[in-house]
Copies of this chain bind each other. A is one copy, B any other.
Amino acid sequence: MADPDVNEVFEKCLGCRYMVGILRHIQAGVNRPGQLERAVDGLTAKVLSERLRRLVEFRVVEKQSYAETPPRVEYHLTPFGARLLEIVEEVERLQKEATRA
């Protein structure tokens, strides 16, 4: 990114529909588009590819293409993406605490 603005990570990445679900599946080893599409409820191929492009743009995931037939593509978390996921977990914990209280 040219202008690393924290607002953008939230508005254009984490805040978009399906994003947290997609990321968690990637984290769990669901790395191919077709699998992600089936794994995340309601998610369509078009929206998924938009999300993945956005995640690559923000350096949250990295794309790997293999010159095979049929073509295979995999997405993996970057170190930044991995930290981001930890933070999502942290928010989830905070939320549960706050709810219990």
Chain A residues in the interface with B (C-beta under 8 A): 1, 4, 6-7, 9-11, 14-17, 19-21, 59, 78-80, 83-84, 87-88, 90-92, 94-99
CA distance in complex: A19, B14 (Å): 13
Classify the secondary structure of A's interface with B. helix
- Distance in Å: Cβ of A100 to nearest Cβ of chain B: 10
CA distance in complex: A97, B84 (Å): 13
Residues of B within 8 A of A78 (CB): 98
- 25 A-B residue pairs with Cβ-Cβ distance under 8 Å, sorted by A, are A4-B96, A4-B98, A4-B99, A6-B20, A6-B91, A6-B92, A6-B95, A7-B20, A9-B91, A10-B15, A10-B20, A10-B91, A11-B15, A11-B16, A11-B17, A14-B15, A15-B15, A15-B16, A59-B98, A80-B94, A80-B95, A80-B98, A84-B94, A87-B90, A87-B91
